[in-house]
Amino acid sequence: MQGTQSTRFFLYDKQCRPLASSQVEFPQIYPHAGWVEQDPLAIWRSVQEAVQQTMTAALEQYGALTVTAIGITNQRETTVVWDRQTGQPLHNAIVWLDNRTAAICRSVVEQLGSNDYFRPVTGLPVSTYFSAYKLKWLLDNAPAVAAAAAQGRCMFGTVDSWLIYQLTGAPVAWSDCGAAGGGLHLTDASNASRTNLMDLRTLTWHKPTLHLFGVRPDMLPDIRSNAEVYGTVAVDGPLQGVPIAGCLGDQQAAMMGQRCAVHEAKNTYGTGCFMLLNTGSELVQSSHGLLSTLAFQLGAGAAPSYALEGSIAIAGQGISWLRDRLGFIASAADSEEVAAGVPDSGGVYFVPAFGGLLAPWWRDDARGAIVGLTQYSTKAHIVRAMLEAICFQTLDVLLAMQQDADCSELRTLFVDGGASQNSLLMQMQADILQVPVRRPAHMETTSLGAALAAGIGVGFWTAEEAFEDLKHNTGTLFEPQITAAAASRRHAKWKKAVERSFALADLTQDLEEDSEQRSEAAQATEHGDGGGKAPAAHEPAGP
329 with 376, same domain? yes
> Which pLDDT belongs to residue 4?
85
Cβ–Cβ under 8 Å, residues 420 and 396: no
Residues 83, 158 share a domain: yes
Is position 61 within any domain? yes
Which portions of the chain are predicted below pLDDT 50? 174-175, 177, 508, 511-512, 515-516, 519, 521, 523-543
Backbone angles phi, psi at 21, to 5 degrees: -160, 165
- Helices 484-500 and 423-433 pack at an angle, to 10 degrees, of 100
What pLDDT, on a 0 to 100 scale, did the predictor assign at position 198?
Answer: 97
Is 373 exposed, middle or buried (CB count within 10 Å of its CB: 0-12, 13-18, 19+)? middle
Looking at the structure, do residues 217 and 285 belong to the same domain, yes or no?
A: no
In three-state secondary structure terms, 327 is coil
Same domain, 278 and 253: no
Residue 69 lies in a domain: yes
Whether the Cβ atoms of residue 384 and residue 329 lie closer than 8 Å to each other: no
**526 located within any domain:** no
**End-to-end Cα distance, the chain:** 59
What pLDDT, on a 0 to 100 scale, did the predictor assign at position 417? 86
For residue 271, what pLDDT is reported? 83
pLDDT for residue 517: 52
CATH number, domain of 136, equals: 3.30.420.40
Instruction: Give CA 157 to chain center in angstroms.
Output: 15
Point out the domain boundary residue: 228, 257, 286: 257
Answer yes or no: do 206 and 282 share one domain: no
**Is 111 contained in some domain?**
yes
Q: How long, in residues, is the chain?
A: 543
Note whether 119 and 160 are same-domain residues: yes
- Give Cβ neighbours of residue 308 (< 8 Å, ≥ 6 apart): 276, 277, 279, 284, 286, 290, 291, 292, 293, 401, 404, 405
Res 293: pLDDT? 92
- Does 296 share its domain with 238? no
Please tell me whether residues 224 and 337 are part of one structural domain. no
- Residues 6 or more apart whose CB falls under 8 angstroms from that of 142 comprise 81, 90, 91
pLDDT at 533: 33
pLDDT of residue 473: 66
CA–centroid distance for 204 within its chain: 22
The answer to whether residues 13 and 101 belong to one domain is yes
pLDDT in tens, 18-44: 999 999 999 999 998 889 999 999 999
Q: How far apart are CA 78 and CA 100, in angstroms?
A: 13
User: Same domain for 345 and 434?
Assistant: yes
Does 22 fall in a domain?
A: yes
Residue 200 and residue 100 share a domain: yes
Instruction: Report yes or no on 522 lying in a domain.
Output: no
Total domain count for the chain?
2
445, part of any domain: no
Judged on CB neighbours under 10 Å (0-12, 13-18, 19+), 336 is buried
Instruction: Please tell me whether the overall predicted TM-score, pTM, comes out greater than 0.85 for this model.
Output: no
The predicted pLDDT at position 444 comes to 85
| DSSP bridge partners of 310 | 275
Give the pLDDT of residue 313: 86
In this structure, the answer to whether residues 234 and 346 fall within a common structural domain is no
328 part of a folded domain? yes
Structural domain harbouring 385 = 273-439+482-500
Q: How far is CA 216 from the centre of its chain?
A: 26
- Of 257, 282, 305, which residue sits at a domain end? 257
Per-residue pLDDT, 535: 29
